[in-house]
Chains A and B, each alone.
With several copies, the nearest count.
Chain A
Amino acid sequence: MGINSYLKDALPENENFELLHILSVPKETHPIVTQNISTRRDSKNVTIKTQHFFSLFYHSKVIFGLEVYVYITLYNSTIDSHPKLDAERLIFISKADTSGYSDIRVNVKDITNSILSYLLSIDPNFYLKNVKPIQRKRDIYTKQLILGSTSTRKGLKILSNRRRKGFRLDNEKINKNLFSHFTCNQNIITKITLFTRPSEQYLFSKSSESGNKHILAGSTLLKWWISLIDKNILHNFKQDTKAAMQIPGESSLEIKRYFKSLLYPNWQVGDIFGGTDTSLAVYKIPLFPDDPKSRFIRQLVEEGRILSVKLSTFWTELQERQEFRLSETVSVIGIEGYLSKLPIYIPGTDDIIISGSKNKFNRIKSYITGEEYDTEEGATESYYNVKTYLKERIGTNLILISGSKKNSLSTRTEQSKPKVTILQVRKKTK
């Protein structure tokens, strides 16, 4: 089922919305969790990383945005000899935000959850068909190609040659030599993880200045997210799913109090990355883009303490870091389990815009995130720019979604404004 079928049930009946859904080029990357020397040496694991970006529009204005990374890890791949590899999928919810300019009451939690359910329904093999390798081979054939590593002068000579002799890309050869291709089982472990941290805005710069947004405090934000994930477990995951939450600087007892109102019975204090208090943090904590945990790990490397900091110290010190100096409640939420329904959906072009390059992905995204939202014009301009760009430069359009949620349901009026994950980067002023 396409994204439309998931989202329409979360949006009010008889109302039309538009959705942008872009996907970055899947590419090989380093393991999510740093391996220790011996595992690293023997490991033939492959990690593939892809980024999804969604934004929802109503009345020609952007109202909501969500950024998610999907990682597939293939274990002990001896690639050709094992057609079906054992694998794991990890969904990292990076940011969700509202612009504050919705003319209609929508349930942001339901919207977010629907998109999450949609992502879970995607066949992991979708990300594995054509993967950009970490390093591309240089051989006699690729020397005739213009790649990122080709110098300007060499590039000009190649272009000159092509004008004279003609040239056609050998797509088959390129596909075979310059991309990686994998397959894995559909029934694999799936993890979802996020870091909740209160902030005035995550994706829509200056949106808090309009006065339309309701900024959630740390513990409210945490409750918002954990109840969303809680619902999602019941809906998509099998019974034995592990569900865990860690609040740096908080006692187990305090953390457990958040579980009382939840429906899934097996919530526990901790995280899904394993280890005990005395494990080295570096080999247990995942590295995500723009994530406080990862930043702290990198700082420990710089400080030369990386091989001495244990998990318990890590969590204590994390909470004391300057980025959290307002002593706001932050949390790490994670779940891990098998889906109750096999993910078999392969998104089509009516469902997703696969951007050919990271630059193009960033271009489209920056029409949303590069705008300023202190006035409504920002929300209109970003809509107008994205729509025009898609039409003129990519020859496609936003996805039209007609809401189908009955009015009676929406009287539950929980106008949630999520203040989500990831925290801001302090920029050095030069």
Chain B
Amino acid sequence: MGEVKPNEEEESNAFLQLAECELKVDAIEKDVAQYRLDKMKSVYQERDGLVNKIPEFWKIVLSQHTDFANYIRASDFTYVDCIQDVKVEWDNVDEFKIIIKFDGIKDDFEAQTVTKQFKRQKIIDDTKSKEDSDSDDDDDELEKLISEPVDIKWPKKYEDICPESIQDKKSPEGKKKYRQGMKSLFGWFRWTGLKPGKEFPHGDSFAELIVDDLYPYCVKYYTEAHRDLEDENDDSDSESEGELDLSDDEGNENEPKRRKL
């Protein structure tokens, strides 16, 4: 379509160079994340020790967190309440393990500590068909979280949905039970990130929730859990004003603060 004019050429180059800049920015963000982890390591260790002295710390944090419950089955909370300790240990910014210590429930659930290992990996997006792969392939490299399945002893109450005890995994009923098990908290320990649709749903986001939010901000959530309880007891404030928000629809609900603040 006609010849390229000098300033169009310059602009065109500027865009390519900006794309390069984005790569540099990404690399810096990784570096910063690593720097942060190194710095935090000793504080996290100190904190892990302190948190252990507070009874039911993790039970309270996990019940408090609004998003946590979205990932698991309501019946899982019996076993969430058994969680005595949660720890995250980073080998580096892309490799880490989540260590969960469960107390037992007599005649139902065995006390145990389970360590699940995770890794972030570049994976070529294979949903794209071969023919449209062009020189831009590098853009389609996605970073993906993967993990290894790890053994955990399931509660007796879950026997009918525990994959080890389902006899006939081919029957419709068997399939259904199997899927229900995979959706439970225990199913998550088998999650690999490699068989989408057949595993614990959103196992990656669930891991990231623990690693990027629950573990780093556990003390904040613990404190909030106590503040909320006080609020509930304090009904003297009329609900008419402050706590009600007149946000009007889906759009505004999660819209950031605007002028009305």
Contact = CB atoms under 8 A, between A and B. Distances in A.
Direct contact of A and B (CB under 8 A): yes
Interface of A: 25, 27, 30-31, 34, 36-37, 41, 51, 67, 94-95, 132, 139-140, 143, 145-148, 150-157, 159-161, 163-166, 169, 174, 178, 200-203, 205, 282, 287, 289-290, 295, 297-298, 301-304, 306-307, 325-326, 356-360, 362-363, 366-367, 369-372, 377, 381, 384-389, 392-393, 422, 424-430
Central interface residue in A31, A297, A306, by most chain B CB within 10 Å: A306
Interface of B: 1-2, 4, 8-9, 11-13, 15-16, 18-19, 22-23, 63, 66, 69-70, 73-75, 77-78, 131-132, 136, 139, 176, 179-180, 183, 219-220, 223-224, 226-236, 239-255, 258-260
A422 B248 contact: yes
B66 A425 contact: no
19 contacts: A25-B231, A51-B249, A147-B228, A152-B22, A154-B136, A155-B224, A157-B136, A203-B246, A289-B250, A301-B246, A302-B69, A306-B249, A358-B251, A366-B258, A369-B252, A370-B258, A393-B77, A425-B253, A427-B245
Given A325-B239, A377-B179, A37 B250 contact: yes
B231 A362 contact: no
A152 B220 contact: yes
B261 to A, nearest CB: 9
Central interface residue in A34, A178, A307, A366, by most chain B CB within 10 Å: A366
A148 B224 CA distance: 7
Contacts of A200: 240
A146 B227 contact: yes
Contact of B19 (A153, A203, A357, A372): A153
Contacts of B255: 362
B228 A304 contact: no
Central interface residue in B176, B232, B255, by most chain A CB within 10 Å: B232
A315 B160 CA distance: 34
A389 B74 CA distance: 5
B239 A362 contact: no
Contacts of A152: 19, 22, 219-220, 223
Given A147-B229, A153-B23, A301 B252 contact: no
A381 B259 CA distance: 12
B248 A290 contact: yes
A164 B219 CA distance: 19
Q: Enumerate the 6 nearest inter-chain pairs by beta-carbon distance, A residue then B residue, closest first.
A: A166-B1, A356-B230, A304-B74, A160-B15, A30-B243, A155-B223
A146 B223 contact: yes
Contacts of B227: 146-148, 150
A387 B22 CA distance: 39
A216 to B, nearest CB: 15
Nearest to A30: B243
Nearest to A325: B239
A112 B58 CA distance: 42
B74 A388 contact: yes
Given A160-B12, A304-B74, 17 more contacts: A37-B250, A37-B252, A143-B132, A150-B223, A153-B139, A163-B15, A298-B244, A301-B244, A304-B75, A306-B244, A359-B66, A369-B248, A388-B75, A392-B75, A392-B78, A393-B77, A424-B245
